[in-house]
Chain A
Amino acid sequence: MSLQDIILKLQEFWAHNGCYVASGYDNEVGAGTMTPDTFFRVLGSKPWRVAYWQPSRRPDDGRYAQNPNRVQKHNQFQVILKPVPVDGQVLYLRSLQYIGVDTHSHDIKFDEDNWASPSLGAWGVGWQVMCDGLEITQFTYFQQAGGIELNPNSLEITYGIERLAAFLDGKDTIYNLEWGNQVTYSQLRTEEEKQFSIYNFEYADIEFLRNIYEEYQKEATRLAAADLYLPAFDYVLKCSHTFNILDARKAISVAERNAFMATMRNLAGEIAQKYVQATEEGENQ
C-alpha cells in the first residue's frame, strides 16, 4: 500500500468515526500536537474530533538520506478524540486493520512511553505502539497543555506514516516506498533530506538563527499581550523550530536549553490561558 493510500484510508476511517478531516498546518512544526487543531482544541470543555495529515520537522533526526527510516521531515497522521472514547484501543486496532494490517499475525504491543513537550507545557500518559519491534504510533491520553490541566481529557493517536508504509510493504528502507501512482518516496525526498541534513548539522548560521529566535520571541510576547493568541502561537512555533535547528547544530548548551524551554513554555502557557478565557467566557467559537 502506498503512502498516499494509507493517508486516504486513515482519513476515511476517522471521518467515519466522527472526525473532522483537517489539513495539516502551514507552519513548521515538530509534531502534529503542535498545531492549533490540537494545542488549542484540547483545552476547554467542548468536545472535538479531528484527523489530519501533518508533515513534521525534526532537524536532529536528519541522516543525509542514509538511514532506512529516520528523516528530518516525516509525515504524521494525527487524531484527536475529545472526550476520550471508551473503546479507543479497539478503534485504533480497527484503523490498523482498515489500512491492511493483519492484527492477528503481527506482534503489536503498547509499550510504556509517556509523552511530554516541555516547550508547550504539555504532557500525557500513554504508549508507543510497536509492531514487530517497529514504533508505528504514539497513543497518548493528554493530561495537560499550556500548563493547564485538561478536563475532559483527549486521546491523541499519532501514526508515523512512513513507518506504517514500510511495515505494510515489507520494505527495508522508506526510500523504496511508493508515495502513489508510481511516484517514489526517494524521488520526492532524497535530495531534500540530504540538503536539509547538511543545512541543519553543518551549514545553518548560528548567529542568524539566534537573532531571529529573539525576534520571534519578542513578536510572540507582543501579540500575546494584545490578546492575539492565534498569531502569537504561530510565532511560538517559529521559535520552537528555530530552537530545534540550533540544537541540531549543537549550538545550545544544557544550561541555555533550559532557559529556551522556559521562555517557550511560559509563552505557550500565557497563550493557552488567553484562549481559554476567550472561548469559555465568550462562547464565541
Chain B
Amino acid sequence: MSDFLFELGVEEVPVSEIKPILNQLKQKFQYKFKEHLVGFNKIESAATNKRFMIYISKINKKANDKEEQIKGPAKRIAYDENNQPTIPLQKFMEFNQVEPGELSEMETPKGIYMVVNKKTEGLPTYDILRHIIPETLKELSFAKTMLWNASRIPFVRPIKSMLALFDNKIVPFEFAGVHSSNSTMGHLLLSDEPLEVNSFRDYCELLDKNFVIFREEERKEKILREIKEIEEENQFRVEMENRMFEDFLYNNEYPVVFCGSFAKKYLDLPSEIISTFMVKEKKLLPVYDKDKKLLNQFVGVSNIPDEGQNVVRGNERVIRATFEDAKFFWDNDRRDDFSALGEQLKNVMFHKDLGNYFEKTMRLLSLVNLLLKETNLEKLSEPLGEAAIHCKNDLVTRMVREFPSLQGIMGGLYLREKGEKEDTWKSVYGHYEPKGFNDVPLEHVGAGILSMADKIDNIAAFISKGIKISSSKDPYGIRRDANAIIKIIIDFKLNFNLDEAIQAAATEFADNVKTLNDTLEQVKELFLSRIENIFKDFLKIRYDVVNAVLNRDDLRVYNLYLRAMDVSKIVETDSIDDLTTLHKRLKNIIKNSEPFDISEGALVEKEEKVLFEVYKESDAKIEKLISNYEYLESCSIILEMKPLIDNFFDNVLVMAEDRKLRENRIALVQLLDKMLSKIADFSLIVERA
C-alpha cells in the first residue's frame, strides 16, 4: 500500500477563503481517485493561511483494471457473402486494434451485434497523480483571484511551493509557473531555510521543529487552553467572537496567547467604542470582570512566543494610539450639534433610486407614529418621534464614517451625551438590531418600534424598486429584516396587524395603484414565507400545525405565534383527534356550498335549535377568551360542544330536500367552521401514527 502527501504552499490566504479551498481540494482528490479507479483508505486534510495539506493513505499502487465491452456493427452487415469482414467491421477492428479472433457476438433486442471485450490495465497511481494534481489546482474556485507571474493563471494568492510525494518520491508536475518538489517552508519568522521532506512522518516532524502546528484542532486546543490559563490567572473573562477565533486559528501557524493592558483613563470612552476599536481595528479581545464590567486589559494571539515581551509592549503602544484616535472622533463629533446634522442627511443617499436619508427619516417618523398607535404605545410618541428624526444623523459623524458598524450605537450615545430622554437615545441606539431571528432580544420597546419602522421601510422600498429575492440572492438583506420584525413582535408581545404598516410603507413608493398592489402582494408574501420559515425552522413547530394556523390574509403575527404555540400543545393531547374529526366533518359538508345566512326562525328540529343556542353562547365565550389569547381554553369549549354537534349530525339531515331547511342548516355548519377556524384549521392536522 502506498501513500500520497500533497502540500500547497502559498502567501497568506484570506481567512474566509481557507475552508472553502481545503474542502474543494479534499473533494476533488477523492472524486478523481474514484474516477480513475484508484483505491484508497483514508484522506486527511489541514490548513493554515500559508499551506493546504492533503494526506491520503493506503492507496493502491495502480488503478484497477478496466473491462469494457465495445459495441461494433450489426452482425448482418459485418460480413459479406464470402464471410469476409465488410468495411464497417474492418474499421471497427482497426480502431480498437483487435484481430478477427478477438471479436465476439452480443444479442440485443435489435439483433446480433459484433463486440470487443476490451481490458485496459490500470495505470500506475504515480502517473495518474502527475495529471490529476495540476488538474485539481486548475479547477479550484475562489471568491477573488489575482495575477502575479508570467503564467497569467488567476489564483487566490501567489503559490510558493507544491510538495507532492507518492511513496516518498516526488510527483513531477508544473502549475502556474511553479514546479512540484519535496520541499516546504517552516514558520515565516522562525525558520529560514526550505525544509526537505521525504515522508509524511518527516513532514510532521519537520514542521513541528520549525514552529508550524499544521493541524487546526491542535492550534485550537492551544489557543483555548492558553486563554483559559490567562483568564484564571487574571480573574477575568475574555469575550471571544466567532469570527475573531477563526482569524486567530488560521492566521497563526504557531499561536501564542498574550495579555496586555492600557491606561485606565481610556475607560472613560463608551465601552462600545473601546471594544469596537479593539476588535475591528486591532484584532484584540476585550476582557470583563465577573460583573461584566470592561477592564483596562486585553488579550491577543501572536504568531510567535513572546519571551521578550516585545509583542505585548508593541500592542500596548498601538492600542493607546487607537484609543487616542477614538477619542479624537468622539470629542470632535460631540462638538457638533448632533440634532442639527439632519440637514446634512439630504446629501446622503439611501439608495440611488430611493432618495436620501433625510427623506427616509421623514417616512420613519410617520411609520413610527402609526406603529405606536397600532400597538397602544402612544405614550412614547414624543421621545420616539425625536428618535425617528435623528436616528440616521450619525451617518455623517466621523466615528461612523470610519466605523460603519457603529451606526445606531453612536447615534444613541451622542444623543445620550446631549441629555436626550432615555426613551429617545435607547431607541436610536438599538434600531439596527436584532440582526436576525437568532440574535439577542432588544431591551427597549422603543428601539423595537423604530427598528420595525426602519425595516418595513427598507422592505417596501426595495421591493417597490423591483429587487427580487431568492434562496441565494438577497442583496439588501430584506429577508433578514423581515425575520427581525417578526422577532421584535414576538419578543415584545406586540399584538397588532402588520397590514396597516405595510400599506403605509408601500404607499410611499408607489407610482400608481397597480405598482402599489404588486408591492403589497410581494411584501405580504415575504412576511408569510418568513413566518412559516421561522415557525418551522426556528421554533420547531410541526408543519401541519403551521399550516393549520397560517392564513393568507392574516398578518397578526403575535396572534399567529400564540395560536401556533397553543395548537402545538393541543396536538400532543388526545383531544386533537376529536377536533380534527369534527373539523373535517364540518368542512366536508360545506365544501361545495356558497355562504348562507342563518335564520333562527327557520330552525325546526330540537337538535338544531339547541345547537344554535349553545353555539351563540360558546362563540361569545370564545371571542372573549381569544381576546386574552386563551386558545387552550377555547378548545375545551369546542370539545364540550362536540356531543351536541354529533347529536345534531346523527339526528338531523343537513342535506334536506327542502331548499330553505337545507340552506339554513348549512349556514349553521358554516358558523361552527368559522368558530373553530378562529383557533386553527384542525382539518389540516395529520393523524398520529
Binding site for B on A (CB under 8 A): 63, 66-70, 83-84, 86, 89, 93, 103-112, 114, 125, 127, 131-134, 141, 143, 150-153, 155, 166-167, 170, 172, 250, 253-256
Contacts and interface: CB of A to CB of B under 8 A. Distances in A.
A255 B344 CA distance: 12
Contacts of B344: 253
A111 B188 CA distance: 13
Interface of B: 11-12, 14-15, 144, 146-150, 152, 157-158, 188-190, 251, 282-284, 300, 302-304, 306-308, 310-311, 313-315, 317-321, 324-325, 328, 344, 347-349, 356, 396
Contacts of A152: 149-150
A153 B317 contact: no
B310 A67 contact: no
B148 A67 contact: no
A107 B328 contact: no
B397 to A, nearest CB: 10
A170 B316 CA distance: 11
Contacts of B319: 133
5 contacts: A89-B188, A93-B188, A93-B189, A107-B311, A111-B12
B302 A67 contact: no
B147 A67 contact: no
| Residue among A143, A166, A253 with most chain B CB within 10 A | A253
Contacts of B311: 106-107, 132-133
Most chain A CB within a 10 A radius of its CB, from B11, B15, B321, B396: B321
A152 B149 CA distance: 7
Contact of B12 (A127, A134, A254): A127
B279 to A, nearest CB: 13
Contact of B189 (A83, A103, A153): A103
A78 B347 CA distance: 37
A188 B71 CA distance: 89
A146 to B, nearest CB: 17
B323 to A, nearest CB: 10
Contacts of B144: 114, 125
A110 B247 CA distance: 12
Contacts of B318: 132-134
Given A67-B321, A67-B324, A83-B150, A104 B189 contact: yes
A254 B310 contact: no
Contact of B348 (A108, A166, A254): A254
Contact of A255 (B308, B315, B347): B347
A131 B282 CA distance: 11
A254 B157 CA distance: 33
Contact of B148 (A66, A84, A253, A254): A84
Contacts of A84: 148-149, 158
Given A83-B149, A253-B348, A104 B190 contact: yes
The 3 closest A-B pairs by CB, nearest first: A132-B314, A253-B347, A125-B146
Given A89-B188, A112-B12, A133-B283, 11 more contacts: A63-B328, A67-B325, A106-B311, A107-B302, A109-B12, A125-B144, A132-B313, A133-B300, A141-B148, A254-B349, A256-B347
A109 B303 contact: yes
A84 B148 CA distance: 6
Given A172-B317, A253-B348, A111 B148 contact: no
B188 A108 contact: yes
A260 B324 CA distance: 31
Given A66-B324, A107-B302, A132 B347 contact: no
Given A133-B300, A254-B347, A111 B321 contact: no
Nearest to A110: B12
B174 to A, nearest CB: 14
B148 A167 contact: no
Nearest to A154: B148
Contacts of B315: 132-133
B147 A143 contact: yes
A151 B147 CA distance: 9
Nearest to A170: B313
B310 A132 contact: yes
Q: Which of A86, A107, A111, A151 has the most CB atoms of chain B within a 10 A radius of its CB?
A: A107
B394 to A, nearest CB: 14
A131 B314 contact: yes
A254 B324 CA distance: 27
Given A69-B321, A105-B308, A133 B282 contact: yes
Contacts of B303: 107-109
B189 A108 contact: yes
Given A83-B150, A110-B12, A254-B348, A133 B314 contact: yes
A63 B331 CA distance: 12
Contacts of B189: 93, 103-104, 106, 108
A131 B157 CA distance: 21
A107 B14 contact: no
A23 B356 CA distance: 46
Contacts of B308: 105
B148 to A, nearest CB: 5
A253 B347 CA distance: 5
B306 A107 contact: yes
Nearest to B344: A253
A41 B319 CA distance: 38
B321 A70 contact: yes
Nearest to A172: B317
A42 to B, nearest CB: 13
B317 A134 contact: yes
A153 B300 CA distance: 35
Contacts of B149: 83-84, 86, 152-153
A89 B15 CA distance: 19
A84 B160 CA distance: 13
